[in-house]
C-alpha cells in the first residue's frame, strides 16, 4: 500500500496495478456485482427485467417527442423505426456511462464499513459499479441486436467489434469513476455536481439528434466530447454496418487510456486516507 513517503507511481503503472487488483480479486468483484443487481431489483414485480423495461419506455417517449412531434431524423427520409434504432443505440451507451459515473461517485463514501477493513481491495468498489453498468449494457445491446435483425438491416461482421468498443468505454468510465469517487470523499457536494453535469452532457451529445445537426460554431465541443465519439462508434458498428472513422477510434482510445491512468493514479495516491474520512 502506498505511503506518503513512498516514491509516487507513474500514472501508467498505477493503471496497470489497478487493473491487476481487479483481476486478482475478480471473484470478489463478481460477488459485489451480483449483490448490486440483487439490491437494485429484488422485491420489484418485474425484477431484473426493469433493465429492459425502463429504457424501452424512455425510448417510446423520446421517439414520440423528438421524431413524431419535432420531426428529427438521423437520415433524410428515415422512418420511425430507423430513428428508434439509432436513438436506442445512443441511449444504451448513455445509460452505461451515466449510471456508472453517478453511482461510482459514492462507491467509497457509502462503504465506509468496508474501507476500514485491513487489506480490503478498495478498487473493487468502483470497479463493481462499472461492471454492473456494463453487464446491463450488454443485455440492452442484445436487445438492440434482436431489434436490428427484426426491424432493421440485420447485423454484419462489424458487430463482432462491439465487445472491443464496450471494453474501451468501460476503461474510460472506470477511470473517471475512480477519480469522482476520490473527489466525493473530500468534497461532499460532488454527487450533486455530477448529476447536474450528466444531465447537461446528455443533451450536448448527439443521442436524440444526428451529429450533423450540431451548429458549426460548436463543432469543437462535439470533437472533444468522448461520449459523442462512443455513440458514433456504436452507431457505425451495429446499425450502419461499417468501421467507424479512425478519428473517433483514436479519440476514445486516447481518452480512455488517459482517464484510466489519471483515475487510478489519484485513487491509489489517496486511498490510505479514505478510512479516516468516510
Q: Give the tens place of pLDDT for each residue, 21-80.
A: 888 988 999 999 988 877 776 655 555 666 677 777 877 887 788 878 877 777 765 667
pLDDT band at 134, cuts 50/70/90? Answer: very high
pLDDT band at 2, cuts 50/70/90? Answer: very low
pLDDT on residue 202: 92
Counted residue by residue, the chain has a size of: 278
DSSP code for 227? H
Q: Nearest Cα to 85, choosing from 170, 155, 8?
A: 155
- Separation CA 185–CA 190 (nearest Å): 9
List Cβ neighbours of 9 (8 Å cut-off, separation of 6 or more): 2, 17, 265, 268, 269
Q: Are 122 and 21 in contact (CB under 8 A)?
A: no
pLDDT on residue 4: 41
List Cβ neighbours of 151 (8 Å cut-off, separation of 6 or more): 81, 85
Q: Which residue has the cell 438521423?
A: 74
pLDDT on residue 3: 42
Q: Are 92 and 117 in contact (CB under 8 A)?
A: no
Amino acid at each position: 500500500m502506498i505511503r506518503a513517503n513512498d516514491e509516487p507511481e507513474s500514472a501508467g503503472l498505477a493503471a496497470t496495478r489497478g487493473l491487476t487488483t481487479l483481476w486478482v480479486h475478480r471473484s470478489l468483484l463478481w460477488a459485489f456485482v451480483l449483490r448490486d443487481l440483487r439490491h437494485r431489483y429484488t422485491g420489484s414485480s418485474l425484477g431484473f427485467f426493469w433493465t429492459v423495461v425502463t429504457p424501452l419506455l424512455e425510448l417510446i417517449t423520446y421517439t414520440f417527442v423528438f421524431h413524431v412531434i419535432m420531426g428529427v431524423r438521423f437520415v433524410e427520409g428515415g422512418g420511425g423505426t430507423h430513428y428508434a434504432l439509432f436513438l436506442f443505440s445512443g441511449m444504451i451507451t448513455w445509460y452505461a456511462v451515466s449510471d456508472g459515473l453517478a453511482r461510482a461517485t459514492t462507491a467509497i463514501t457509502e462503504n465506509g464499513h468496508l474501507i476500514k477493513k485491513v487489506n480490503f481491495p478498495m478498487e473493487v468498489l468502483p470497479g463493481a459499479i462499472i461492471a454492473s453498468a456494463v453487464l446491463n449494457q450488454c443485455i440492452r445491446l442484445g436487445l438492440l441486436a434482436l431489434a436490428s435483425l427484426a426491424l432493421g438491416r440485420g447485423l454484419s461482421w462489424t458487430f463482432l467489434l462491439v465487445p472491443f468498443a464496450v471494453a474501451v468505454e468501460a476503461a474510460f468510465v472506470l477511470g473517471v469513476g475512480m477519480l469522482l469517487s476520490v473527489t466525493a470523499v473530500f468534497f461532499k457536494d460532488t454527487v450533486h455536481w455530477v448529476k447536474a453535469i450528466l444531465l447537461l452532457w446528455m443533451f450536448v451529445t448527439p443521442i436524440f439528434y444526428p451529429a450533423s445537426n450540431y451548429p458549426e460554431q460548436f463543432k469543437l465541443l462535439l470533437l472533444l466530447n468522448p461520449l459523442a465519439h462512443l455513440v458514433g462508434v456504436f452507431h457505425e458498428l451495429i446499425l450502419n454496418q461499417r468501421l467507424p472513422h479512425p478519428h473517433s477510434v483514436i479519440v476514445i482510445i486516447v481518452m480512455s487510456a488517459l482517464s484510466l491512468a489519471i483515475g487510478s493514479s489519484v485513487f491509489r495516491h489517496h486511498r490510505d486516507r479514505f478510512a479516516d474520512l468516510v
